[in-house]
Structure 1
C-alpha cells in the first residue's frame, strides 16, 4: 500500500493522497487539494469578496482557518508566481483595504525559492507504519519537467463546464424534426383526431380515394366519440369514490400530529456548532483542523466554514482513513 505525501507550499500543511492522484500545483508551487480547488473555483468564476477585519487577517499565519476568503485569495496570488494579467484580474474582486497591504504584483519564478514551493514524498505501509521511500532526485526532475510545460491562463476552460454545455445541446432523440413537423401539421388540419404517422403514409400510398369508405370511417369515429361522452355524462366528482379516498389520504398526511412526529431535531444550531455540546467542530472531526480538504456535501467547497452546518439535521459520527487504522470519533454528540 502506497500513498503520496504533499507538503503544500501555500498553506504549509502536510496532506496524504492516493498514489493514483496526480501532482497538483498552482503556478509551479505544490498545493494541496483544498488550496488548489479553492483557487481554481475563484479563478474560473470570481466574485466580489470582503474582509470584516479590514484586511488584518492577511498578515496572520499561513493557515487558511485564520483567514477570510478574501485574504486567502490574496495570500495565494502573492505566494505563487501567477501571470501579471491574471493577478490584476483577480485583485479587482478584493476589497480596497486589502489591496493596500499587497505588493502590487505577483512574485516572479526566481523570487520563490525551491524550499518555499512545497514538496512531495512517497510512503509505503509496512509493519503497521508508513515508511518514507522517496527518491529526491526523481521528484525534483519531475517537478522541473512539469514546471516547463505548465501554463496558468486567466480564462482556463473547465472540463465540467464543457460536459454541461454538451448536455444542454443534446436534442430529444424520441421526436425527430421531420416527425415533429408532421405531427404539428396533422394537429392543425385535423384538430379532433390526430392520425399516427404510419397510417398517414398508407393513405398516401393509395392511388384512388373511396368516398363511401371515408364517410363510413368518419361515422365510426363520431360514434366512438359520442360513446365516450355518454360514459362521462353521469360522472360527479363530488360523490366519486376515488375523490373521497384521495381526500382522506391528503388529510392523513397533512395532519399536525404526523407532521410533528416526522420533524427531526437539529443536530447543529444557528451558529453551526453542535447543539448537544456547543462545540464548533469541522466535518473531519479534528478539534485542531487547520482547514480540511474534505468537500462539503452542501456547497462542494473544500474550505467552507460553519455557515454550511447551520441547522443541519445530521452529523458525522466517525471518520476513517481508507487503507489505515486512523479513525476519529465524534465525542461531542449525545450518545444513543
Structure 2
C-alpha cells in the first residue's frame, strides 16, 4: 500500500500543479493581453516556457514548504494527510476559477496542509506559518500596492514632457514583452517550487528520500505540469485582472508587472517565503491604477478579491480536514 499511496499522492500533487498553472496563468499575462501587447496564444506560450525556466532556478521556497510548515507522520497516515491537503487546495482552486476570482493557489495549498495536519494530529509549525505564510500574506499586497503606485508615479514624472504620447504607449507595449516574461519567470520560481516541496515531503514520509535536496525528476515533472496548466489558460480570472479592476494602459501594465516580478524574486531568494503571485500582481494593479485617480480603480471588485484572499486559507483547510476524515481509512 505504501508505494501505491505514494504514487496517488504524487499524482494528485501534479494535478494541483496543473490547476495552479491554469488558475494563475492570468497573473503573468493578463495585463499584457488586456493592453494587446501580446496575443493570448503568444502570451500563454511565453508564460509556459518561462514557468519551466523559473522552476529550475531556485529551491528555497520548496524547502520551506517541505519542512517549515508541517511535520506529517511517516507511512500511509502521513501520505493521507498530504492527500487531503492537496484535495483541499484543488477544490478551492476549481471553485475560485469557476467564479473568476483571482485567489491564491499558494495559500490554498498551505491552508490545506494546515487543515489536514490538524485533522490528522500531525505537527504544525505555527512559527513557520506565521513567519513564512501569514506575515507575507499581509505584507506583500501592501508592498505591491505602495511600490506599484511609486513606480507608476516615477514613470509619469519621467515621461511628463513627452510630445508624442502614442509613441510612448507603443514603447511601453513593446517593453511589456520583457516585463511579462519576467513575471512568468517569477511565477515559475514561486509556484512550481511549492508543488516540488509537497512531492519531496511525500517522498520523505514514504522513506524514499532524506530531504537533502530536490531530485531533478521532481523539478522536471512539476515544471512540466505547471507549464501545461499555464498553456491551458485561465480566461475567467484573466478578465478580472485585466479589465474588471481597472482598464489598464501599457505604461500601467508595465509598472504592475515590474513591481510584481521584483517582489517575487526578492521573497524567493532572500526570504524564501511562499508568497502569492495573485496577491502581488492584483495589489500592484490597484497601486498603479490609483495614480490616475482613486475612482479609476473599481474598489468594489477589489474588495471582493481581498475578501477571497482572507477566506482562502480557512476554506481550503476546512475542505482538507473533511477530506482527511473521509479518506483516513484508505490510508490507515
Which structure dedicates a bigger proportion of its chain to strand? 1
- Between Structure 1 and Structure 2, the one with more helix by share is 2
**Shared fold (TM-score, shorter chain, > 0.5):** no
TM-score normalized with structure 2 length: 0.20
Give 1 or 2 for the bigger CA radius of gyration: 1
**Structure with more relative contact order (C-alpha pairs < 8 Å, separation 6 or more):** 2
